[in-house]
Structure 1
Amino acid sequence: MINVTKPAQEQVRMYFEGKEITPIRIFLNSAGCGGPSLAMALDEKKDTDAVFTFDEVEYIMDQNLLEKAGPVDIDFAGTGFRLESALKPAAGCKGCSGGTCGS
């Protein structure tokens, strides 16, 4: 399941003001030392996507990724969006410095 807070919905609606509304994809941005993280981008729906609609905007995510991520919460606070899920940091990383992980 994807949950979008009212503040996040308002920011998305302001972005689309005067524009054609297109789906917003939630995707795996990285799985490095800091652990996996999710990001958002405009995209087209695929047959393998789960689709959730909030305030006439479709939020799409690959079903397999959604199963791994668990519920995804999208919020807007301060100056940006925050995506939270059950994805955990990569095991074995003891810290990152200068773009590399300690072992």
Structure 2
Amino acid sequence: MYIATNQETCDKIGEVLASQADKPQNIRIFIAGMGCSGPSFGLGLDNVNDEDLTEVINGVNFVLEKSVYDTVGEIKVEWVGNGYSVQPVTPAPSACGSCTSCG
């Protein structure tokens, strides 16, 4: 598994982990929904399961279900000043035009 991120993002996540010491200390990347431009992702504190892949970067343990990784590939997690941007490193092709909400 490969997670693209940077030190600033890991520092911000570390602040969240420190403030939630009574919660699991793993950052799960998950698909939060699907739209015309592909999946949207979320982050959450969670335990590691048997079907998960993990990667530790700058002290942060990122967790991703193997089936999600098999579907979307490498993920980029980045602090963007007021939250986190989570997206595939290689964006999925747009499905626009295949549903009625685009037009």
**What's the TM-score, normalizing by structure 1?**
0.79
Partner-residue secondary structure (3-state), 1:28: strand
Aligned residues: 99
Return the alpha-carbon distance in structure 2 between the equivalents of residues 78 and 102 of structure 1: 29
Do the aligned partners of 1:75 and 1:83 also contact (CA within 8 Å) in 2?
A: yes
Query: Larger C-alpha radius of gyration, 1 or 2?
Result: 1
Aligned-residue RMSD, C-alpha = 2.4
Return the alpha-carbon distance in structure 2 between the equivalents of residues 65 and 19 of structure 1: 26
Do the aligned partners of 2:52 and 2:66 also contact (CA within 8 Å) in 1?
A: yes
**What's the TM-score, normalizing by structure 2?**
0.79
Gaps of 5+ in 1: none
The match for 2:68 is 65
Cα shift readout 1:45-66 (whole Å, capped 9, x = no counterpart):
1001000112322110011211
The match for 1:88 is 92
Gaps of 5+ in 2: none
Flag as ranges the 4+ runs of structure 1 deviating above 4 A: none
- Percent of aligned positions that are identical: 23
